[in-house]
Amino acid sequence: RSYFKAIYQGKSLNLYALLDTLKDAIDENNQLISEQDRHLFEEILLKTVGSKIRDRINSSKVWVKEINEIMKEMQKNSSLSFGLEWRSKNAESMEELETKELVRILKMDPETVQDEESNRLINHFRSKLQKEIEFNNANDAYSSVIFDVLDYRNWFEFKMTYQRTGENKRELTNKVFSVFSGGEKAKTMYIPLFAAVSAKLNS
Protein backbone atom coordinates (compact mmCIF):
# COMPACT_ATOMS: atom_id res chain seq x y z
CA ARG A 1 0.00 0.00 0.00
CA SER A 2 1.30 3.47 -0.90
CA TYR A 3 0.53 6.72 0.91
CA PHE A 4 0.52 10.08 -0.87
CA LYS A 5 0.58 13.55 0.57
CA ALA A 6 0.31 16.94 -1.11
CA ILE A 7 1.34 20.45 -0.23
CA TYR A 8 -1.48 22.96 -0.64
CA GLN A 9 -0.99 26.60 0.39
CA GLY A 10 1.96 25.58 2.57
CA LYS A 11 0.10 22.77 4.33
CA SER A 12 0.78 19.04 4.11
CA LEU A 13 -2.46 17.16 3.37
CA ASN A 14 -3.41 13.59 2.60
CA LEU A 15 -5.44 13.02 -0.55
CA TYR A 16 -8.83 12.95 1.23
CA ALA A 17 -8.12 16.21 3.04
CA LEU A 18 -6.84 17.72 -0.22
CA LEU A 19 -10.04 16.72 -2.00
CA ASP A 20 -12.23 18.32 0.69
CA THR A 21 -10.09 21.47 0.70
CA LEU A 22 -10.29 21.82 -3.10
CA LYS A 23 -14.08 21.34 -3.05
CA ASP A 24 -14.41 24.10 -0.46
CA ALA A 25 -12.16 26.38 -2.53
CA ILE A 26 -14.22 25.73 -5.67
CA ASP A 27 -17.48 26.46 -3.83
CA GLU A 28 -16.01 29.69 -2.46
CA ASN A 29 -14.82 30.78 -5.90
CA ASN A 30 -18.21 29.94 -7.47
CA GLN A 31 -19.94 32.05 -4.83
CA LEU A 32 -17.58 34.94 -5.57
CA ILE A 33 -18.13 34.60 -9.32
CA SER A 34 -21.89 34.46 -8.77
CA GLU A 35 -21.82 37.72 -6.79
CA GLN A 36 -19.66 39.44 -9.42
CA ASP A 37 -21.91 38.01 -12.13
CA ARG A 38 -24.98 39.41 -10.40
CA HIS A 39 -23.40 42.86 -10.08
CA LEU A 40 -22.46 42.78 -13.77
CA PHE A 41 -25.97 41.79 -14.84
CA GLU A 42 -27.60 44.47 -12.71
CA GLU A 43 -25.28 47.22 -13.93
CA ILE A 44 -25.55 46.26 -17.59
CA LEU A 45 -29.18 45.18 -17.88
CA LEU A 46 -30.85 47.73 -15.65
CA LYS A 47 -28.64 50.79 -16.02
CA THR A 48 -26.74 50.62 -19.32
CA VAL A 49 -27.80 48.23 -22.07
CA GLY A 50 -31.31 47.93 -20.67
CA SER A 51 -32.12 51.56 -21.42
CA LYS A 52 -30.98 51.16 -25.04
CA ILE A 53 -33.02 47.97 -25.42
CA ARG A 54 -36.07 49.80 -24.04
CA ASP A 55 -35.62 52.59 -26.58
CA ARG A 56 -35.29 50.13 -29.45
CA ILE A 57 -38.40 48.21 -28.42
CA ASN A 58 -40.41 51.43 -28.10
CA SER A 59 -39.21 52.60 -31.53
CA SER A 60 -40.13 49.25 -33.07
CA LYS A 61 -43.64 49.40 -31.60
CA VAL A 62 -44.10 52.88 -33.06
CA TRP A 63 -42.86 51.58 -36.43
CA VAL A 64 -45.38 48.68 -36.40
CA LYS A 65 -48.16 51.12 -35.48
CA GLU A 66 -47.23 53.35 -38.42
CA ILE A 67 -47.18 50.33 -40.76
CA ASN A 68 -50.72 49.46 -39.75
CA GLU A 69 -51.90 53.04 -40.21
CA ILE A 70 -50.43 53.12 -43.72
CA MET A 71 -51.99 49.76 -44.59
CA LYS A 72 -55.35 50.89 -43.23
CA GLU A 73 -55.23 53.95 -45.50
CA MET A 74 -54.21 51.83 -48.50
CA GLN A 75 -57.02 49.31 -47.94
CA LYS A 76 -59.96 51.66 -47.26
CA ASN A 77 -62.20 50.31 -50.01
CA SER A 78 -60.87 46.77 -50.12
CA SER A 79 -62.98 43.71 -49.24
CA LEU A 80 -59.85 42.02 -47.88
CA SER A 81 -57.54 43.90 -45.54
CA PHE A 82 -54.41 42.98 -43.62
CA GLY A 83 -52.78 43.95 -40.35
CA LEU A 84 -49.45 43.32 -38.65
CA GLU A 85 -48.85 42.34 -35.03
CA TRP A 86 -45.53 42.23 -33.17
CA ARG A 87 -46.22 39.68 -30.47
CA SER A 88 -44.24 38.86 -27.36
CA LYS A 89 -42.85 35.34 -27.26
CA ASN A 90 -43.59 32.96 -24.40
CA ALA A 91 -40.96 31.73 -21.94
CA GLU A 92 -39.20 28.53 -22.99
CA SER A 93 -38.44 27.26 -19.49
CA MET A 94 -39.28 27.82 -15.82
CA GLU A 95 -36.16 29.96 -15.36
CA GLU A 96 -37.08 32.34 -18.16
CA LEU A 97 -39.49 35.26 -18.22
CA GLU A 98 -42.32 35.95 -20.61
CA THR A 99 -41.27 38.74 -22.96
CA LYS A 100 -44.02 41.00 -21.55
CA GLU A 101 -42.66 40.60 -18.03
CA LEU A 102 -39.06 40.98 -19.20
CA VAL A 103 -39.86 44.26 -20.99
CA ARG A 104 -41.87 45.48 -17.99
CA ILE A 105 -38.86 45.10 -15.69
CA LEU A 106 -36.47 46.65 -18.19
CA LYS A 107 -38.77 49.67 -18.50
CA MET A 108 -38.68 50.31 -14.75
CA ASP A 109 -36.49 52.90 -13.06
CA PRO A 110 -33.46 50.86 -11.85
CA GLU A 111 -33.83 52.40 -8.38
CA THR A 112 -37.37 51.01 -8.03
CA VAL A 113 -36.62 47.42 -9.13
CA GLN A 114 -37.20 45.02 -6.24
CA ASP A 115 -34.74 42.24 -5.37
CA GLU A 116 -37.23 39.60 -6.50
CA GLU A 117 -37.61 41.25 -9.91
CA SER A 118 -33.86 41.70 -10.22
CA ASN A 119 -33.29 38.02 -9.39
CA ARG A 120 -35.84 36.91 -11.96
CA LEU A 121 -34.22 39.10 -14.61
CA ILE A 122 -30.75 37.75 -13.82
CA ASN A 123 -31.92 34.12 -13.77
CA HIS A 124 -33.63 34.67 -17.12
CA PHE A 125 -30.47 35.84 -18.85
CA ARG A 126 -28.26 33.29 -17.10
CA SER A 127 -30.54 30.55 -18.44
CA LYS A 128 -30.49 32.07 -21.92
CA LEU A 129 -26.70 32.37 -21.89
CA GLN A 130 -26.24 28.79 -20.72
CA LYS A 131 -28.55 27.48 -23.44
CA GLU A 132 -26.80 29.51 -26.11
CA ILE A 133 -23.36 28.31 -24.99
CA GLU A 134 -24.47 24.67 -24.89
CA PHE A 135 -26.24 24.91 -28.24
CA ASN A 136 -23.16 26.35 -29.93
CA ASN A 137 -20.81 24.02 -28.05
CA ALA A 138 -18.90 27.09 -26.87
CA ASN A 139 -17.47 27.51 -30.39
CA ASP A 140 -18.73 31.06 -30.79
CA ALA A 141 -17.00 34.00 -29.16
CA TYR A 142 -18.59 35.01 -25.86
CA SER A 143 -19.36 38.46 -27.27
CA SER A 144 -21.33 36.81 -30.08
CA VAL A 145 -23.32 34.76 -27.57
CA ILE A 146 -24.09 37.91 -25.54
CA PHE A 147 -25.19 39.68 -28.71
CA ASP A 148 -27.67 36.92 -29.58
CA VAL A 149 -29.10 36.76 -26.06
CA LEU A 150 -29.60 40.53 -25.83
CA ASP A 151 -31.00 40.89 -29.37
CA TYR A 152 -34.53 42.05 -28.53
CA ARG A 153 -35.73 41.09 -32.01
CA ASN A 154 -35.56 37.46 -30.88
CA TRP A 155 -37.98 38.23 -28.03
CA PHE A 156 -40.86 38.98 -30.42
CA GLU A 157 -42.41 37.55 -33.55
CA PHE A 158 -44.39 39.10 -36.40
CA LYS A 159 -47.87 37.78 -37.15
CA MET A 160 -50.07 38.79 -40.06
CA THR A 161 -53.83 39.13 -39.70
CA TYR A 162 -56.53 39.35 -42.36
CA GLN A 163 -60.16 40.48 -42.37
CA ARG A 164 -62.86 40.18 -44.99
CA THR A 165 -65.78 42.59 -45.04
CA GLY A 166 -68.39 41.54 -42.49
CA GLU A 167 -66.07 39.03 -40.78
CA ASN A 168 -63.86 39.10 -37.68
CA LYS A 169 -60.11 39.61 -37.88
CA ARG A 170 -58.13 36.34 -37.98
CA GLU A 171 -54.51 35.25 -38.02
CA LEU A 172 -53.12 34.63 -41.49
CA THR A 173 -51.75 31.07 -41.46
CA ASN A 174 -50.05 29.12 -44.23
CA LYS A 175 -53.23 27.09 -44.67
CA VAL A 176 -55.32 30.23 -45.22
CA PHE A 177 -52.68 31.73 -47.53
CA SER A 178 -52.67 28.58 -49.69
CA VAL A 179 -56.34 29.02 -50.65
CA PHE A 180 -56.04 32.71 -51.51
CA SER A 181 -56.34 33.71 -55.14
CA GLY A 182 -53.24 34.90 -56.99
CA GLY A 183 -54.21 38.54 -56.50
CA GLU A 184 -54.89 38.04 -52.80
CA LYS A 185 -51.52 36.34 -52.33
CA ALA A 186 -49.81 39.26 -54.05
CA LYS A 187 -51.59 41.75 -51.77
CA THR A 188 -50.57 39.69 -48.75
CA MET A 189 -46.90 40.00 -49.68
CA TYR A 190 -46.63 43.48 -51.17
CA ILE A 191 -48.93 45.66 -49.04
CA PRO A 192 -47.10 44.98 -45.72
CA LEU A 193 -43.72 45.24 -47.46
CA PHE A 194 -44.40 48.63 -49.06
CA ALA A 195 -46.06 49.92 -45.87
CA ALA A 196 -43.01 48.88 -43.81
CA VAL A 197 -40.62 50.60 -46.21
CA SER A 198 -42.76 53.74 -46.25
CA ALA A 199 -42.98 53.85 -42.44
CA LYS A 200 -39.23 53.38 -42.16
CA LEU A 201 -38.48 56.16 -44.63
CA ASN A 202 -40.91 58.51 -42.88
CA SER A 203 -39.13 57.94 -39.58
Q: Is the pLDDT of residue 35 over 70?
A: no
Query: How many residues belong to the chain?
Result: 203
What mean pLDDT is reported for the chain?
84
The rounded distance, in Å, linking the Cα atoms of 108 and 4 is 58
> Angle of helix 49-74 relative to helix 182-202, nearest 10 degrees?
130
Tens digits of per-residue pLDDT, 78-90? 899 999 999 998 8
Tens digits of per-residue pLDDT, 120-164? 888 888 888 888 877 765 566 777 888 888 899 999 999 999 999
